[in-house]
Amino acid sequence: MKNLNVILLFFIIFSISYSSGTINEELIIETIKQYKIPLKNIENNDSDKNKLINSFKAKSIIGLGEATHGTDEFFKIRCQLSKLLINDLDFGVVAIEAGFQECNNLNEYVLNGTGNPLELINDLHHWFWKRQEMLDFIEWLREYNLDKKEGEKVIIAGFDMQWRNQSAKYISSYLKLHNPGVFASFKNQLDIISSTENVPLSTTEFEAIQKIEMELKDWGVLKTDSMNHKEFEITLQNIAVLKQSEPFLADRSGEKLIYEKIRDEFMAQNVVWLFNHMGKSGMIIWAHNGHISKGERCGFAKIICEEAMGNFLKKEYGDEYFPVGFVFNQGCFNAFSKEKVFKTFCVDEAPSGTLPYLLSRSQSDKCFIDFNQINDTRFVEEFLMKPLKNQSVGTYFVAKDRFGKIKLKDKYEALIFVDKSTKPVYLKEN
C-alpha cells in the first residue's frame, strides 16, 4: 500500500509538472532567444540583415501575413521587409489581397506616374489598404522605379476576385480599341456586368463573358504578330476574374460555409498567373495569415475546412514558397463587430501557455524567427508541432473566438512577433 501511495504521489507531481509546461516553456523561450533576428534596426546591423537575407535566399514567393487587418505595426514591418527584398534580392512584384484590375490601375502610377495615388488606393475596396503607410509605400515604389529600365521596375499587383466593375471596364476599353466588332456585340452585357457589383449575374451576362473569351482567343490566334500581347493577356485574365467572381458571389449569397475555399483557390490561381506573366525574379505577397498559410481555412462556423491559398502555392512551388505568419500579444486594432460596426478593439496580454505569451516571455518584440534554422528536435516537438493557442482577427472580431489552436509547422516557415498592436492612421476620402 505504501509503494502504491508513493507511485500515486509521483504520478501527481509528474502530472502537475507536465501540465504546467514549465520545463517545455523554458526550452522554447531560450531557443527563441537564441535564434530570433531583431527587425528594429535591421538596416544598420549587417549581421542581422545578412541572417534575414539568408532566410529569404532561394525563395521565389514570400508570403507576408498579418494577424489582424487593422494593426499598424504589421503593415510597417511588411513595408520594411518588402523594401529589403526589393533592394537586396531583386524581388520585382508586390502582390496584395486586393482586386486584380484595381491594382493594375494603381500599377500605372507605380510604373508611369499615371493617376492620383490617393484616389487609386481608395478604389481598392478593402478598408485596410486605405492607410497612410500604404500611400507612403506606393510613393516609395514610384520613386524606386524612376531611374529603372522597363524590365527592372517593381510592379504592384492584386490577386483578389470579389469585384467585377474595373475588370469589365478594362475589357470594354480593350475591345473598343482593338476589336470593335466584338465590343459592339457585347456592349450591353458588359455595361450591365460593370454596374452589378457584389451580386450574382444572370445567365445571359455570364454566358456573354464566356462568349467574349472564345471570340478573343480565336481572334488572338489570327492577330499574333500584330497585337499587344501584354494588354491581350491582361484582358484574358480580367475575363478569368469575372468568371471566378461569379461562383464566389453565388456561393456567398447562399450563405454557405465554403466560399472562402473558393476564394482562396481562385486567389492562388491568380498568384500563379501573376508569377508566370510578370517575368520577375521574385514575388512578395501581402495577405492575412489565414490566406498565406500552408494549412487550412475554415468557414465561419469552423465546420468545413478547406485549403488556404498558401497551401495551393506550397504544392505548386514547394520550398520556393515561404509563408511568414505574424503574431501579436496585446493592444488595439480595427475590425468590424459581429453587428457589422467598424470600431477599435483593445485586448489584454495573452494568457499563460499561449503562443503570444511564449513569444512575449522570450522578449521577441519585432523579431523574425525562421523555423528552418532551428534544428533542436525537442523545440520542434514542443513548439512547432504542438497545438498552441493563438489569436487571429479577420474582418470581424468576436471576443469569445479570440483564440484558436494551431500547429506552427503546419502553417508557416517563419514568424514575426509584435508585442503591442496599435491601430493605423487612415487616409481621408477625397
Q: What tens digit of pLDDT does each residue of 248-290 get?
A: 676 655 444 456 678 899 999 999 999 999 867 899 999 999 9
213 vs 105, 143, 232, 270, CA distance in Å?
Answer: 22, 37, 11, 17
Mean pLDDT of the chain: 88
* Mean pLDDT score, 191-205: 86
Looking at CATH, the fold of the domain delimited by 21-72+285-296+320-430 is given as EreA/ChaN-like  fold (3.40.1660)
Rounded to whole angstroms, how far apart are CA atoms 124 and 219? 32
Asked whether the predicted pLDDT for residue 23 surpasses 50, the reply is no
Query: For 228, which DSSP code?
Result: -
The residues spanned by each domain of the chain are 21-72+285-296+320-430, 165-261
pLDDT tens string 381-407: 889 999 999 998 988 999 888 999 999
The pLDDT > 70 percentage for the chain reads 88
**Average pLDDT of the segment spanning 353-378:** 94
pLDDT(8) > 80:
no
The C-alpha cell of 184 is what? 459592339
Q: With cut-offs at 50, 70 and 90, classify the pLDDT of residue 222.
A: low
For the segment 354-383, the average pLDDT, to the nearest whole number, is 93
* Whether the Cβ atoms of residue 83 and residue 64 lie closer than 8 Å to each other: no
Q: Please give the Cα distance from 312 to 206 (Å, whole number).
A: 27
Task: Provide the pLDDT confidence category of residue 13 given band limits of 50, 70 and 90.
Answer: very low
Look at residue 12 and tell me whether its pLDDT is greater than 80. no
Q: What is the DSSP string of 26-91?
A: HHHHHHHHHH-EE-TTGGG-HHHHHHHHHHHTT-SEEEE--S-TT-HHHHHHHHHHHHHHHHHH--
pTM: 0.90
Euclidean distance between CA atoms 72 and 425, whole angstroms: 8
Report, as an integer, the average pLDDT of 24-31: 90
CA 192 to CA 209: how far, in whole Å?
Answer: 12
Residue 220's pLDDT is 74
Beta carbons of 340 and 430 less than 8 angstroms apart: no
Cα distances (Å, whole numbers) of residue 315 to 280, 285, 312, 322, 325: 20, 16, 5, 12, 18
Residue 413 has pLDDT above 60, yes or no: yes
Least confident range from 121-130, 265-274, 296-305, 389-398: namely 296-305
| Residue indicated by cell numbers 485586448 | 347
pLDDT of residue 201: 85
